[in-house]
């Protein structure tokens, strides 16, 4: 019999560990890793490179619909091209980072991204990380996790990452930017960051990455 396609939803605020944990879980279970935030960042990047103001919803939506999007799997992860280009590093740059939370509140952007994410099940079983995966994208999944950690710990994790990448950021600025994004993400009208009904909450403030990965893998295997 064909094994049923599974979707593991990993939601939570910025720097709660979603990416690192989801990649680890995907590698251990042989599932495809999906970074849903990359799509919101891709829409933002496309708008900026087409000269659209990220605050101008109509211009952002027009640039998004005019582009040619393709999804494919590479090295165990689902990624995409926009008009033939595959942005990776570009998605993490400052102009995109600062505009993405505003772009992600646009209802047409959310509809486009949510529908695109659902089609990825055609590639196989997924570990998808984001803000609304358990609440909106795959609400029927039995495998929903909500990762959290204290804001100070999350800001410290992000700060260490930026310093390691050679970026000249100040710790208090990272804290401010993270708080601002948390606020926008949790209070927006469309699909705010919430703990999905039935989600398993994990506070990773004092857990190692491996401990969080094992908690999720154990819960998925125990439930299969
Ligand atoms: O890596 P980080 O957690 O900082 O952000 P990300 O996952 O790359 O997501 C970037 C932004 O996209 C978030 O701040 C949200 O505004 C938005 N996002 C969303 O609205 N819904 C998702 N499922 C994923 C991301
Ligand atoms: O995807 P998200 O923004 O939620 O977080 P991430 O990029 O996976 O994690 C942010 C940073 O925190 C990474 O450098 C992780 O290695 C680190 N981290 C940690 O130190 N301990 C954890 N339990 C989880 C993540």
Among protein residues, the one whose CA lies closest to atom 7 of ligand 1: 37
Q: Which of 32, 37, 41 is nearest to 87 (CA)?
A: 41
Whether 110 is covered by a domain: the verdict is yes
Evaluate if residue 2 carries a pLDDT over 60.
no
- Taking the C-alpha atoms of residue 80 and residue 73, their distance in angstroms, rounded to an integer, is 8
pTM of the model: 0.93
Atom of ligand 1 nearest to the CA of 91: 8
Q: Quote the pLDDT of residue 1.
A: 47
Whether 216 is covered by a domain: the verdict is no
User: What's the CATH code of the domain at 110?
Assistant: 3.40.50.300
Ligand 1 proximity of 17 Cβ (cutoff 6 Å) = no
Q: Which of 201, 75, 74, 100 is nearest to 146 (CA)?
A: 201
Q: Residues lining ligand 2, CB < 6 A?
A: 12, 14-20, 157, 161, 204, 207-209, 212
Ligand 1 proximity of 185 Cβ (cutoff 6 Å) = yes
Q: What is the mean pLDDT of residues 110-118?
A: 98
Here the tokens at position 170 are 């100040």
Whether 209 is covered by a domain: the verdict is no
Per the structure, the count of domains in the chain is: 1
- Taking the C-alpha atoms of residue 219 and residue 87, their distance in angstroms, rounded to an integer, is 34
Ligand 1 proximity of 22 Cβ (cutoff 6 Å) = no
- Taking the C-alpha atoms of residue 211 and residue 41, their distance in angstroms, rounded to an integer, is 29
pLDDT in tens, 79-96: 999 999 999 999 999 899
| Rounded distance from Cα 66 to ligand 1 centre (Å) | 23
Whether 1 is covered by a domain: the verdict is no
| Rounded distance from Cα 136 to ligand 1 centre (Å) | 14
Collapsing DSSP to helix, strand or coil, 128 comes out as strand
Whether 218 is covered by a domain: the verdict is no
| Rounded distance from Cα 84 to ligand 2 centre (Å) | 30
Among protein residues, the one whose CA lies closest to atom 23 of ligand 1: 130
State which residues form the domain around 162: 7-204
Question: Nearest bound ligand to CA 163?
Answer: 2
* pLDDT confidence band for 19 (50 / 70 / 90): very high
Q: Quote the pLDDT of residue 171.
A: 84
Least confident of 26-30, 118-122, 132-136, 175-179: 175-179
Whether 210 is covered by a domain: the verdict is no
Evaluate if residue 47 carries a pLDDT over 60.
yes
Whether 182 is covered by a domain: the verdict is yes
């Amino acid at each position: 019999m064909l094994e049923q396609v599974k979707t593991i939803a990993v939601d939570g605020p910025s720097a709660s560990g979603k990416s690192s944990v989801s990649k680890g879980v995907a590698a251990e279970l042989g599932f495809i890793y999906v970074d849903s935030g990359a799509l919101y960042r891709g829409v933002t990047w496309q708008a900026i490179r087409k000269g659209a103001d990220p605050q101008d919803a109509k211009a952002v939506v027009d640039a998004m619909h005019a582009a040619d999007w393709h999804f494919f799997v590479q090295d165990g992860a689902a990624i995409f091209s926009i008009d033939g280009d595959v942005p990776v590093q570009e998605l993490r740059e400052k102009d995109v980072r600062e505009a993405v939370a505003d772009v992600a509140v646009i209802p047409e952007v959310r509809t486009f991204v949510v529908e695109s994410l659902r089609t990825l099940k055609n590639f196989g079983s997924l570990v998808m990380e984001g803000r609304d995966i358990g609440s909106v994208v795959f609400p029927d999944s039995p495998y929903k996790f909500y990762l959290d950690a204290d804001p100070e710990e999350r800001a410290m994790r992000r700060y260490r990452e930026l310093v390691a990448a050679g970026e000249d950021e100040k710790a208090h600025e990272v804290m401010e930017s993270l708080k601002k994004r948390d606020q926008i993400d949790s209070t927006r009208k469309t699909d705010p960051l919430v703990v999905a009904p039935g989600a398993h909450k994990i506070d990773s403030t004092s857990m190692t990455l491996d401990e969080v990965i094992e908690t999720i893998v154990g819960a998925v295997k125990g439930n299969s």
